[in-house]
């Protein structure tokens, strides 16, 4: 019952002009694969935990045996975060969000542009490695948060509706140290259909 690396839902070149092929290969085939491998290695020490969904492991980290708690937090988080990441992007994505996610963004932040500015600022402001998120609660409310390393909003009792990876490995080959430029360009590949599904599932939990 080992956890497995999901294949990319599109070609490695599919997001070119925003995310280059080489970054996609390294990011998916090396970084994400390593999180999966290291998660499985940790769970091998407590095999009864292999049957649990990663999200459930992250939801209650205090219940994880101490000797693997850090490994599950980092590698389980890395696995879930990246599985989300590939799916909330697509070629020829972007544009203004419509449907329920468009509505909740307008209700919460006033308009899409203001939301984007706040999300990008939170991504720029995350010192070192981490993620910037739109996280939801079970009542359908949303907020922008950032997390260090591979920490998941799930461990804070929130649902990760979508997030952007601000680790240098996500952008350094193409954007070098220009994280704000990457954050701004990234909206061109966002998959709002998938994000709408994730928001509707979040509000129902
Ligand atoms: Mn990453």
Q: What is the 3-state secondary structure (H, E, C) of 24-59?
A: HHHHHHHHHHHHHHHHHHHHCCCHHHHHCCHHHHHH
Which pLDDT value is given to residue 105? 98
Does residue 4 fall inside a structural domain? no
Q: Is the domain of 182 the same as that of 113? A: yes
Q: What is the mean pLDDT of the chain?
A: 97
Residue where a domain stops, chosen among 65, 87, 109: 87
| 48 Cα: distance to centroid of ligand 1 (angstroms) | 28
Residue 205 has pLDDT above 90, yes or no: no
User: What percent of the chain clears pLDDT 90, i.e. is strictly above it?
Assistant: 98
Give me the CATH number covering residue 48. 1.10.287.990
Q: State the total domains in the chain.
A: 2
| 99 Cα: distance to centroid of ligand 1 (angstroms) | 28
Over residues 41-68, the mean pLDDT reads 97
| 79 Cα: distance to centroid of ligand 1 (angstroms) | 9
Q: Is the domain of 107 the same as that of 200? A: yes
Residue 24 has pLDDT above 70, yes or no: yes
| 104 Cα: distance to centroid of ligand 1 (angstroms) | 27
Cβ atoms of 194 and 85 closer than 8 Å:
no
| CA dist list (Å): 137 to 15, 84, 104, 162 | 30, 17, 12, 13
Residue 122 has pLDDT above 70, yes or no: yes
| 110 Cα: distance to centroid of ligand 1 (angstroms) | 30
Give me the CATH number covering residue 117. 3.55.40.20
Q: Is the domain of 105 the same as that of 194? A: yes
Alpha carbon dihedral 156, 194, 86, 108, in 10-degree steps, equals -40
Does residue 198 fall inside a structural domain? yes
Residue where a domain stops, chosen among 34, 56, 87: 87
- Report the SS3 class of residue 74: helix
Residue 173 has pLDDT above 80, yes or no: yes
Cβ atoms of 61 and 73 closer than 8 Å:
yes
- Report the SS3 class of residue 161: strand
Which pLDDT value is given to residue 203? 85
Does residue 3 fall inside a structural domain? no
Over residues 113-133, the mean pLDDT reads 98
Residue 189 CA to residue 93 CA, distance in Å, equals: 4
| 36 Cα: distance to centroid of ligand 1 (angstroms) | 12
Rg (CA), the chain: 17
Q: Is the domain of 107 the same as that of 193? A: yes
Over residues 32-61, the mean pLDDT reads 97
| CA dist list (Å): 108 to 101, 102, 128, 140, 204 | 10, 10, 28, 11, 18
| 154 Cα: distance to centroid of ligand 1 (angstroms) | 17
| 149 Cα: distance to centroid of ligand 1 (angstroms) | 9
pTM of the model: 0.97
Residue 71 has pLDDT above 70, yes or no: yes
Does residue 78 fall inside a structural domain? yes
Residue 181 has pLDDT above 70, yes or no: yes
Q: Is the domain of 103 the same as that of 196? A: yes
Residue 189: count other Cβ atoms within 10 Å of its Cβ. Answer: 20
| 112 Cα: distance to centroid of ligand 1 (angstroms) | 25
| 167 Cα: distance to centroid of ligand 1 (angstroms) | 6
Over residues 115-119, the mean pLDDT reads 98
Q: 82 is written with which tokens?
A: 């990246």
> What are the respective helix, strand and coil percentages of the chain, to the nearest 5?
60, 10, 30
Over residues 88-108, the mean pLDDT reads 97
For 127-168, the pLDDT digits (tens) are 999 999 999 998 999 999 999 999 999 999 999 999 999 999
Which pLDDT value is given to residue 1? 76
Cβ atoms of 131 and 82 closer than 8 Å:
no
| 108 Cα: distance to centroid of ligand 1 (angstroms) | 28
């Amino acid at each position: 019952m080992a956890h497995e690396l999901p294949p990319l839902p599109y070609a490695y070149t599919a997001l070119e002009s925003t995310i280059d092929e080489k970054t996609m290969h390294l990011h998916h085939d090396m970084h994400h694969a390593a999180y999966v491998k290291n998660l499985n290695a940790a769970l091998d020490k407590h095999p009864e935990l292999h049957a649990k969904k990663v999200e459930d492991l992250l939801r209650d980290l205090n219940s994880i045996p101490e000797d693997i708690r850090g490994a599950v937090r980092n590698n389980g988080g890395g696995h879930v975060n990246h599985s989300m990441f590939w799916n909330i992007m697509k070629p020829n994505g972007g544009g203004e969000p419509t449907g329920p996610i468009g509505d909740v963004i307008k209700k919460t932040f006033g308009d899409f542009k203001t939301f984007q500015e706040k999300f990008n600022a939170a991504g720029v402001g995350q010192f070192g490695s981490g993620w910037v998120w739109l996280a939801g609660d079970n009542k359908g409310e949303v907020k922008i948060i950032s997390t260090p390393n591979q920490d998941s909003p799930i461990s804070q009792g929130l649902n990760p509706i979508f997030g952007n990876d601000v680790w240098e490995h996500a952008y350094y080959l193409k954007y070098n140290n220009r994280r704000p430029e990457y954050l701004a360009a990234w909206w061109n590949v966002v998959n709002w259909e998938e994000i709408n599904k994730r928001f509707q599932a979040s509000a129902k939990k």
